[in-house]
Amino acid sequence: MCASSVFIPIVPAGGSGTRLWPLSRRSEPKFLLDLTGTGSSLLQQTLRRLEPIADHPPIIVTGAVHRDAVTTQAQAVAAGADRRARILAEPSPKNSMPAIAWAAAVAERIDEDAVIGSFAADHLIHDVDGFTATIRAAHRAAELGHLVTIGIEPTYPATGFGYIQEADGTPEQLGAAGARAVARFVEKPDAETAQSFLAAGGFTWNAGMFVARASLILHWLDRLLPQVADAARQLARLGQEHVGPEEIDRIWQGMTSIAIDHALAEPLAAEGAVAMVPARFDWDDVGDFHALSRQLRSARPAAQQGHDDATPAGSAVQQGSGGAGSDVVALGDAPVIADASRASIYSRTGRPVAVVGLEDITVVDTEDVLLVLADDHAQSLSGLVANLQEHGQGHLR
């Protein structure tokens, strides 16, 4: 069973990644950063990953303040001038549904039968072949008239992800496409509920990837959120004309701020219109420093696993003279001395960093702030960032 409609990737590139502060800032958000020392930002890795399955260049939706940086990065990885991404600049943050709706309306004007896929700009996926196979299956399922999401096999009772529950049965045609019927979406659960999901089986993590016909996205919105559908079509028409930013802003500000999960996935799942394709690839949303440390360690050569020095990003790591081994990963330009420590160190200053007797610690050294973080408190960092303004340090955000 082969997909016949054209596929146009959508890349929402928003948010600031507060749990990766101070590397990630409002002026330089997470998706613009090279967080793993590969030489490419998360956005650029996403665009390269999408190139083999895209029939048209991707559509990136980002904040107006980041348009120039996004354009520069996207052009640097485009396979040719005719493959350069189209950039849509949001006047203000409005969550994922308005961004996807705008891009869907643009895609529908490119090809009225187009299938679109929405993929966050700041996720890490290493298995490109597995990703390609998964999205092609989602494309086939979307052609059957479903909103298709990608399910990640849960490895622990995470409370930071939403969950997708499979339905008891899947129609034959949908199953032949490589998808499964969905019973419901569950928003981020508490720890006890998450544990019960793992014990019960039939639940996957919601990775926030959605595939559907562009025209169907707008059709569903006509019924559920008609103002969003109308505004998206207006914005797509304006893209064909020469209008000032004031007109775009006027239409955009009337949009409801809502995530696609709440706007479409949840109500459509209750109607039996949502399908899920199990992911055939590794996935990490790199949501905090604990996750980033895990990624850096997993990327090391096998010979460097355990309690050996490791330099995945090229920083110099030297053992101290205490005789105890360390497990330290370093990203940036700082020489690091480690003794009896397990730590992750990120430096933008070149200043030497020494760690002694520290366990599961992250150190981030930038020109204007030094962060020392216990990894088991990584999820709490966003609260600190939210309070910077009231402590007179808002300029650090």
DSSP label at residue 369: -
Q: What is the CA radius of gyration of the chain?
A: 22
DSSP label at residue 323: S
pLDDT attached to residue 240: 58
pLDDT attached to residue 304: 38
Longest dimension (CA), the chain: 69
Q: Are 91 and 245 in contact (CB under 8 A)?
A: yes
pLDDT attached to residue 344: 93
Cα separation, 377 vs 29, in Å, equals: 21
pLDDT attached to residue 1: 65
DSSP label at residue 124: B
Nearest partner of 6 among 143, 146, 182, judged by Cα? 143
pLDDT attached to residue 241: 60
Q: How far is CA 170 from CA 3, 139, 334, 352, in A?
A: 19, 17, 54, 58
pLDDT attached to residue 333: 82
Which residues contact residue 131 at a Cβ distance below 8 angstroms, ignoring those fewer than 6 apart? Answer: 49, 125, 280, 281
The residues facing 174 across adjacent strands are none
Q: How far is CA 101 from CA 31, 219, 236, in A?
A: 21, 11, 10
For the beta sheet containing 317-319, the strands, ordered from the edge strand earlier in sequence to the opposite edge, are 317-319, 336-339, 353-356
User: Inter-axis angle of helices 67-77 and 42-50, to 10 degrees?
Assistant: 50
Low-confidence ranges of the chain (pLDDT < 70): 1, 240-243, 300-317, 319-324
Nearest partner of 114 among 52, 56, 44, 31, judged by Cα? 56
pLDDT attached to residue 331: 87
pLDDT attached to residue 315: 56
Q: Is 200 exposed, middle or buried (0-12, 13-18, 19+ CB in 10 A)?
A: exposed
Q: Is 39 exposed, middle or buried (0-12, 13-18, 19+ CB in 10 A)?
A: exposed
